[in-house]
Structure formats: C-alpha cells, structure tokens
Amino acid sequence: MKVRIHVSLKPGVLDPQGRAVHHALEGLGFSGVDDVRVGRLIELDVADDTSQAQLEEMCRKLLANTVIENFRIETMEAAR
C-alpha cells in the first residue's frame, strides 16, 4: 500500500525556508505572493495490513516533530 505523509509547520512557527523562497520569488519579479510555507512530503510503501494507528505512531516517533509540525496521512488508491 502506498502512503503519503504531508508534514508542515504549525501555525505561528517561524519558517525561515519559506521566507527565503518568498524573497527569491519577489527577486525574480513574481508579485502577488503573500506568504510561503515550506513542508515535506514523505512517500512510503507499506504492507497492506499496516494500520492507521501504526502509521500515526511512525509519524509521532520519527517522521514529524510534533512539537512544531503537523502531519496528515494520505492512503493512495491501488492502481488498477
């Protein structure tokens, strides 16, 4: 089973990487971008019997720093 884990900074947490991207976009002449937040996408290929609870535990213990980050688990549909 394919799983995507979306990890993003919690609201209120400073995002220096996002600020750098925002500044670079302005420098390249792109206007109208009010804010940039940078996160990560982790793709896993796990056994079909992996539970939602196991995926959440993986996120809490390793894949996301839950003090400053939120995560969202997305299970991908199998290709037919």
Q: What does the pLDDT look like over 16-29, one tens digit per residue?
A: 999 999 999 999 99
Residue 36 DSSP one-character state = -
Q: What is the pLDDT of residue 77?
A: 74
Task: Sketch the domain layout of the chain as residue ranges.
Answer: 2-75
Q: What is the pLDDT of residue 78?
A: 63
**40 vs 80, residue with greater confidence:** 40
Contact status, residue 45 vs residue 2, Cβ threshold 8 Å? yes
Q: Residue 47 carries which side chain, given as an amino acid letter?
A: A
Q: What is the pLDDT of residue 79?
A: 55
Q: What CA–CA distance (Å, rounded) separates 33 from 20?
A: 13
**Which of these CATH numbers, 1.10.3720.10, 3.30.1280.10, 3.10.310.30, 3.40.50.720, describes 2-75?**
3.30.1280.10
Contact status, residue 73 vs residue 52, Cβ threshold 8 Å? yes
pLDDT tens string 40-68: 999 999 999 999 999 999 999 999 999 99
